[in-house]
Amino acid sequence: MNRSLLISLLTVAMGSAQADPVDDFVTSSMAAQKIPAVVIGIVKDGKLVRKQAYGKIDLELDVDAKPDDIYEIGSITKQFTAFATLLLAEQKKLSLNDSVDKYIDNCPEIWKPITIRHLLYQISGLPDYAFVPGLGIVGEFTKDQFLTTMAALPLDFKPGVTWAYSNTNYALLGWVIEKASGIPYPRFVEENIFKPAGMTQTFFGDNATIRPRRAHGYMNNQGEIIRAIAGAGSIASDGSINSTVEDMAKWDALLHEHRLLSAESYALMWSPAKLNSGRQRPYGTGWFLGDPSLPDYVGHGGNSSGYSAGFARYTKDGLSVIMLSNLYPVSGEQFCRTIAELLEPSLRAKIPEEKPDPQKERTQKIKAAVLTFAEGKQDSNCLEEEVLAPMRTQRAAMSPVWQTVRKLTELKFAGETKQGKDTLLTYRLLTPDRNFTAYILWSDHSKIAQMTLKADPPKA
């Protein structure tokens, strides 16, 4: 165990009177974002070494949060759905190369080239039902209504062309699991994952049942905290699980011990998505993967009506951080990563040193291409189709993530490595508001094929 991490964890366990940077971060974040309640869990080598609650699970009744309170975990549900799919593949009840047509009755013609593998890795091209009128994450609709509505929409791109996050992928996987297993999706997950893991306080969305110590959900409506609309939605498999920090630590222990699945399936779970071009994207089966500066990281966030959650795992260090909260929206995964970096400073992304630029003309072309992308201009002269296709999705149209990059002033070279025909370039991307480390995959056609940004700490 890293010495600095050992000291951090011992300080926590002994209840030291020393200043606790994790406490400081959690309480300051709650104040800044107006989060009513947060529960955190810190796991080392599969063992829960800290669980702590902050704030209120009910603002109206002034109920203090406790470490074993229940919260929705949102899209962290997806990793359970993916795990269940891999279990069925090992049982020979499905193949990842099967068409969805085999499991979805009256499958639309344009969906037939889509495989289970495409769904798992979010490379199917299916538009996200979360943004479709009449459906949505908390909407009430039948399976037939869902399929009829979605079948009328064109694909965002052909299967395998690129990666784009879409809840529709995991909605369909729930029905695939039901058809392949012969039992309802929630029951399959409960019997084959929750029960073996010992997750006794974990269940699928159920707003009618009285659940002691279930946190009330809230929304941040332009700075005003309001009660969230209660609604489990109509889809279970993309984001409806409720759980506790204790149970999520049991899930982490199962993963740490590589139980229930073969080594081959675990490798698949945490392998990057492979595109038709041969390029990759840093997403496994229900897991975001680390960037080039942190290859041993896997994690995911979750947002649902009134709740946000995060789960971050550093496999090399045996460190995991869990966060559950009763406010939407909060970036739960980043919340967890910050806690991990406070416990183990070596996990912080190192800012690369600038180097002499061997191709300044190339850098100027890349700078222009970055600005084109940040401004949302779909220019095929400087952007590969893998980059252009996600820009056309509804999710991308609503994302403000690139607004800061539009203020780009300087792009400073920091390194390069070959990746097949392409070149992975590292740059320091400077703006008046915030600086970034940019990992840019520059294709053999002199176009951006992928771009990943790692933000520096905010400027004072």
Which CATH number belongs to the domain containing residue 370 in this structure? 3.10.450
Q: Is residue 67 located within the same domain as residue 84? A: no
Can you give the CATH number for the domain in which 291 is found?
Answer: 3.40.710.10
Residue 199 lies in a domain: no
The structure tokens listed for 420 are 């097949």
**Structural domain includes residue 275:** yes
Lowest mean pLDDT among 15-19, 114-118, 451-455: 15-19
Q: Is the dihedral of CA 159, 390, 275, 294 positive or negative?
A: negative
Q: Are residues 319 and 415 in the same domain?
A: no
Residue 336 forms part of a structural domain: yes
Q: Do both 60 and 157 map to the same domain? A: no
* Boundary residue ending a domain (318, 347, 376): 347
Please, are residues 114 and 125 in contact by the beta-carbon 8 Å criterion?
Answer: yes
If asked whether residues 221 and 267 sit together in one domain, one would say yes
SS3 readout for 60-120: CCCEECCCCCEEECHHHHHHHHHHHHHHHHHCCCCCCCCEHHHCCCCCCHHHCCCEHHHHH
Query: Do the domain assignments include residue 49?
Result: yes
24 and 83 fall within a common domain: no
The residue behind tokens 């109920």 is: 63
- Among 314, 347, 380, where does a domain finish? 347
Considering the domain architecture, whether residues 10 and 73 belong to the same structural domain is answered as yes
Q: 395 lies in a domain?
A: yes
Instruction: Examine the domain organization and report whether 219 and 71 are in the same domain.
Output: yes
Query: Poorest-confidence range of 7-11, 94-98, 134-138, 284-288?
Result: 7-11
128 and 111 part of one domain: yes
Residue 436: is its pLDDT beyond 90?
A: yes
Domain limits for position 159: 79-185
| Structural domain contains residue 410 | yes
Q: Residues near 306 by Cβ (< 8 Å), separated by ≥ 6?
A: 72, 216, 217, 218, 219, 227, 228, 229, 230, 326, 327, 328
- The verdict on residue 46 lying in a domain is yes
Mean pLDDT of 16-40: 92
Residue 205 lies in a domain: no
pLDDT at 457: 84
**Quick check: 62 pLDDT over 80?**
yes
Asked if 83 and 72 sit in the same domain, the reply is: no
Same-domain check for residues 224 and 324 = yes
Residue 5 has pLDDT above 80, yes or no: no
pTM above 0.75, yes or no: yes
Count of domains observed in the chain:
3
If asked whether residues 72 and 221 sit together in one domain, one would say: yes
pLDDT digits (tens, 9 = 90+) for 63-86: 999 999 999 999 999 999 999 999
Mean pLDDT, the chain, as a whole number? Answer: 94
Q: Left if phi > 0, otherwise alpha if psi is -120 to 50, otherwise beta: which for 134? A: left
Both 378 and 420 in one domain: the answer is yes
